[in-house]
Amino acid sequence: MNKKEFGQFMGFNLLRMCFFIVLLTLAVISFDIISKGIKAINWEFISTMPRNGMTEGGVLPAIIGTIMVTVITAILAVPLGMGCAIYINEYANNSKITRLIRMSIRNLSGVPSIVYGLFGVVLFVQFMHLGTCILSSGLTLGLMTLPWTITASEEALKSVPNSYRYGSLALGASKWQSIRTNVLPYAIPGMLTGTILGLARAAGETAPILFTGAAFYLPFLPKSLFSQFMALPYHLYIMSTQHHSISKVRPLAYGTALVLIALVFLINFFAIILRYHLRKRRME
């Protein structure tokens, strides 16, 4: 082995080491959460209310709360995100307005989640008088998710070949007709998948719901969209930092972390399955 080859050998191993550090990180994270979280999880944990100041019982209201908020988020972010993606990819030409829209999207995705939280407090909680509730939190998260759903939907629209559009336009279809019949059917699987991935991320967010509706301890299910709620990520935060006997509830915190991760991955998994099925159906 000469000097050059030795250099290559060492260099590649250095890169390999970086790669293994990343793998190791994920392995440690998953091992720790799963091995300790699984002990806390049983049917009672995911199907009952927390009891005795959250030192016993389950996380049912937090699961329901997170799901309800995510649904509100989806109702706001999915149609708006897809519509905006359709506008910038299908209608907009390279004008100043379009560039401004693109710039806004990139900047919105860079705005810290806590700033969205501040925005939600002023706009939804105070200005619109919704108070701290599921609706405020869901809308705040929806605005935060918007740039992600737009970017994902635009990628899906971009992957539809232009010949589909031209073919339909050449046959006399109007712009909207050709988008509806010749672009969207092919883009929808990708758009949905990307959007759902964004929603999964929103479901795990804590900072925007801290002050817009998440509650410390509510041992009952939310009654309406205008009630406060418990959410899994906020519950985990409380259980690991704010609780009066932190070491006692640590197993429950692990259980909550595992349920949260499982929920997020479940949503991701659902998105991938959905894409697979929609693609398969299109092929037939």
Partner 1 sequence: MINYAINNLVLPKKINFINSRITDKVSHFLFFLNGMIVIGVLVGIFILLVFSAIPAFKEIKILEFLFGLEWNPTSYVEEKFGIVPMLVSTFMVTLGSLCIAVPIGIGTAAYLSDVANGRTREFVKPIVEMLAAIPSVVIGFLGIVLVGPFIAKIFNVPNGLNAVNGSILLAVMALPTIISISEDALISVPKAYEQASLALGATKWQTVIQVKVPAALSGIIAACMLGMGRAIGETMTVLMATGCAPAMPKSFLGPVSTLTSTIAIELGEVAYNTKHYYALFAIGLVLFFITFLINLVSEIVLHKYEQVHR
- Draw the binding track, 198-227, toward partner 1 (x: CB under 8 A; -: no contact): --xx-xxxxx--xx----------------
CB of 51 to partner 1, least distance (A): 22
Q: Among 212, 80, 219, 64, which Cα is nearest to 148's?
A: 80
CB of 42 to partner 1, least distance (A): 20
- Draw the binding track, 38-77, toward partner 1 (x: CB under 8 A; -: no contact): ----------------------------------------
User: Counting every residue, how long is the chain?
Assistant: 284
C-alpha–C-alpha distance, residues 280 and 191, integer Å? 16
* Cβ atoms of 73 and 141 closer than 8 Å: yes
Q: Which of residues 154-183 bind partner 1 (CB under 8 A)?
A: 161, 163-164, 167-168, 170-178, 181-182
- The pair phi, psi for residue 241, each rounded to 5°, is -130, -35
Does 7 help bind partner 1 (rule: CB under 8 A)? yes
C-alpha–C-alpha distance, residues 278 and 249, integer Å? 43
Provide DSSP, 200-241. HHHHT--GGGTTTTB-S---S---STTS-B--HHHHHHIIII
Does 151 help bind partner 1 (rule: CB under 8 A)? no
- As given in the structure block, the two tokens for residue 31 are 């091992």
**277 vs 282 by CB, closer to partner 1:** 282
CB of 227 to partner 1, least distance (A): 19
C-alpha–C-alpha distance, residues 169 and 177, integer Å? 9
Q: Which of residues 232-271 bind partner 1 (CB under 8 A)?
A: 233-234, 236-237, 240-241, 250, 253-254, 257, 260-261, 264-265, 268
* Interface residue with partner 1, options 38, 71, 75, 115 (CB under 8 A): 115
**16 vs 223 by CB, closer to partner 1:** 16
